[in-house]
Amino acid sequence: MSRKFELQPFEADQAAPADLRALYELSVAALRLDRPDPVVLDYDDWVASLRQLAPSLGPRGYWIARCDGELVAKAVVYFPPKENEHLALTEITVAPRRRREGVGTAVLMALLPELEARGRKLVEGWELSKGGPGAQWAVGVGMRISKSTIAQTLDIRDVAPALWEVPAPDGFRVAEWVGAAPDELVASYARALHVMRDAPAGDSEYRLAEWTAERVREAEARHRERNVVQRVVVAVSEATGEVVALTQMDLYTAYPEWAVQQDTAVIPAYRGKGLGRWVKAHMLRALLAERPSIGKIYTNVNADNQHMIRVNGQIGFTTSRSTVGVSGEIAELRRLLG
């Protein structure tokens, strides 16, 4: 690697057109190399995506790295709030032509003091291809594999809609909304969301929220602020009038032809009745009736969650790749890397 290395903050709204174009080309080249299932946006949609942040992960930092003036890498870091104020969720991408030159390590070394200054104790990276160069590099610099996950895709063109014709289990009705839970359901919806804390998560240090009605409203507000539409489908017990199962789907304006399947949960006392499959199937029917332009749906499931992987398969998802998460203590990484 060149001795003239610099890492600098990046703001899309203030970037020179040449830098934006170079960053786009770097991102696309890396995506095509690193993933068997790449979602490659055209340039304008990609620029729009830079301005659309993930709703649940807190503020975002963005940096670009140059060697002798050439843009060679980027780093994206989310700083999650509350239960996860100790974490920095980090993704480092190096231009394919500049790999194996120490660029990624130089980026990490330059980032770590900044992350520590923001009060973060641990750095985590998610969704690295299992056995791929990113995961190998992370272990090589001193991180550990903290979880194993499965990336799954539902290609609408390849799935018979009959898979989504799932009958309603006796004693339950469906409710659905876009953006905000009805006042009469928000408390039981929060309790159902809380069940996600029991889902397999490996050894990741990321902690799911302590859900309350107030925090549900905060999460809904973040989706609106970041211009991400969330659809929710729930199963309501006819006997109690409470939410006992749920599923969520996020829709990003920057990605008009695909959607992201988020959490699905069933309260333990109601498991074994097919509620998870039912609400997910209803979600797909409702989503595609409203947005027929959707072509693919993506999700990521912990590899230990065999039940959810099986349910997803029943409605048409296929596994596109095996992925891992990595984790490392910032102080220890700084010691190892000097």
3-state SS string over 76-136?
Answer: EEECCCHHHCCEEEEEEEECHHHCCCCHHHHHHHHHHHHHHHCCCCEEEEEEEECCCHHHH
Cα-based distances in Å from 157 to 23, 160, 258, 260: 32, 8, 12, 17
Q: DSSP class of residue 166?
A: P
pLDDT of 209 over the 90 cut: no
CATH of 154-323, one of 3.10.129.10, 3.90.1150.10, 3.40.630.30, 3.10.450.50: 3.40.630.30
The more confidently predicted of residues 272 and 202 is 272
Cα 141 to Cα 147: distance, rounded to the nearest angstrom: 17
Question: At residue 71, does pLDDT exceed 90?
Answer: yes
Is the pLDDT at 75 greater than 80, yes or no?
A: yes
For residues 325 and 55, what is the distance between their CA atoms, to the nearest angstrom? 20
What pTM was computed for the model? 0.91
Task: Give pLDDT tens digits for 218-258.
Answer: 999 999 999 999 999 999 999 999 999 999 999 998 888 99
Q: How many CB atoms lie within 10 A of CB 294?
A: 19
- Using pLDDT thresholds of 50, 70 and 90, give the confidence band for residue 196: confident
CA distance 211 to 133: 37
- Are the CB atoms for 54 and 36 separated by under 8 Å? no
Confidence of residue 197 (pLDDT cuts 50, 70, 90): confident
Question: Do the domains 5-149+324-337 and 154-323 sit in the same CATH topology, yes or no?
Answer: yes
Q: Are 253 and 48 in contact (CB under 8 A)?
A: yes
Residue with tokens 């520590």: 116
Sort 60 into a burial class: Cβ within 10 Å, 0-12 / 13-18 / 19+.
middle
Check whether 335 has a pLDDT greater than 90.
Answer: yes
Comparing CA positions, the residue from 70, 134, 86 lying closest to residue 108 is 134
pLDDT in tens, 28-60: 999 999 887 777 889 998 999 998 888 989 999
Asked if residue 199 has pLDDT above 80, the reply is no
- Measured in degrees and rounded to the nearest 5, phi and psi for residue 223 equal -60, -45
Higher local confidence (pLDDT), 1 or 157: 157
Calculate what percentage of the chain has a pLDDT beyond 70.
Answer: 99
Q: What pLDDT score was predicted for residue 201? A: 73
**Helix 330-337 and helix 103-117, axial crossing angle in degrees, nearest 10:** 140
Domain boundaries, the chain: 5-149+324-337, 154-323
pLDDT confidence of residue 73:
98
Fold of 5-149+324-337: Aminopeptidase (3.40.630)
Q: What residues are paired with 176 via a beta bridge?
A: 233
* Mean pLDDT for the stretch of residues 170-176: 98
Whose CA is closest to 227, among 255, 248, 246, 247?
A: 255
- Cβ proximity of 113 and 171 under 8 Å: no
* Residue 19, SS3 per DSSP: helix
CA 16 to chain centre: 28
pLDDT at residue 184, as a whole number? 98
Looking at every residue in the chain, the average pLDDT score rounds to: 94
